A and B are shown apart, each in its own frame.
Chain A
Amino acid sequence: MKLPSKQTSIKEAIAHIKDGDTVMLGGFGVPGTPFVLIHALVKHGARNLTIVKNDANEPDMGVDHLLKSGQVARLVTTHLGLNGHAIKLMNAGEIEVEFNAQGILAERIRAGGAGLGGVLSDIGIGTELAEGKKEIEFGGKTQIIEPALRADVALLHAAQADSFGNLAYVGTAQNFNPLMAMAADRVVAEVESLLPLGELAANDIHTPGVFVDHVTELGELSEEYAVVQR
Chain B
Amino acid sequence: MIARAAREVQPGMVVNLGIGLPTKVVNHLPADFPVCLHTENGLAGIGPTLSPEQADRNLIDAGGAYVSTIPGSAFFDSATSFSLVRSGRLDLTMLGAFEVAANGDLANWKIPGKFSPGMGGGIELAQKARRVIVLTTHTDRAGNPKLKDACTLPITARGCVRRIFTDLAVIDIGADGFHLVETAEGVGLAEIKEATGAPLIVPATKLPSF
Residues of A within 8 A of B (CB): 28-32, 54, 77-82, 87, 90-91, 97, 99, 101-107, 109-110, 121-124, 126-129, 159, 169-179, 206, 225-230
A227 and B121 in contact, given A106-B78, A106-B79, A175-B42 (Cβ under 8 angstroms): no
| Contact partners of B58 in chain A: CB under 8 A | 31-32, 159, 170-173
CB–CB B124/A28 < 8 A: no
Q: Mark B114-136, 1 if CB is under 8 A from A, else 0.
A: 00111111011001100000000
* Residue of chain A at shortest CB distance from B78: A106
| Contact partners of A174 in chain B: CB under 8 A | 42, 75-77
Asked whether B157 is an interface residue with its Cβ less than 8 Å from the other chain, the reply is yes
Residues of B within 8 A of A (CB): 39-43, 52, 55-62, 64, 66, 75-79, 81-83, 85-86, 110, 116-121, 123-124, 127-128, 154-158
CA distance in complex: A107, B56 (Å): 28
CB–CB B124/A126 < 8 A: no
The residue that A102 contacts in the complex, of B64, B117, B124, with Cβ under 8 A, is B124
Given A28-B41, A127-B154, A225-B57, 7 new contacts (CB under 8 A)? A28-B78, A31-B59, A78-B118, A79-B118, A105-B78, A127-B156, A227-B66
* Residue of chain B at shortest CB distance from A101: B123
The residue that A81 contacts in the complex, of B78, B120, B121, with Cβ under 8 A, is B120
The residue that A172 contacts in the complex, of B42, B86, B156, B158, with Cβ under 8 A, is B42
CA distance in complex: A138, B127 (Å): 19
A175 and B60 in contact, given A79-B118, A87-B116, A126-B155 (Cβ under 8 angstroms): no
CB proximity of A229 to chain B, nearest CB, Å: 6
| Contact partners of A230 in chain B: CB under 8 A | 52, 64
* Residue of chain B at shortest CB distance from A171: B58
CB–CB A178/B77 < 8 A: yes
CA distance in complex: A121, B127 (Å): 12
List of 10 A-B pairs having minimum Cβ-Cβ separation, nearest first: A103-B82, A171-B58, A79-B120, A81-B117, A102-B121, A106-B78, A79-B118, A106-B79, A28-B41, A99-B118
CA distance in complex: A206, B155 (Å): 37
CB–CB B77/A102 < 8 A: no
* Residue of chain A at shortest CB distance from B69: A171
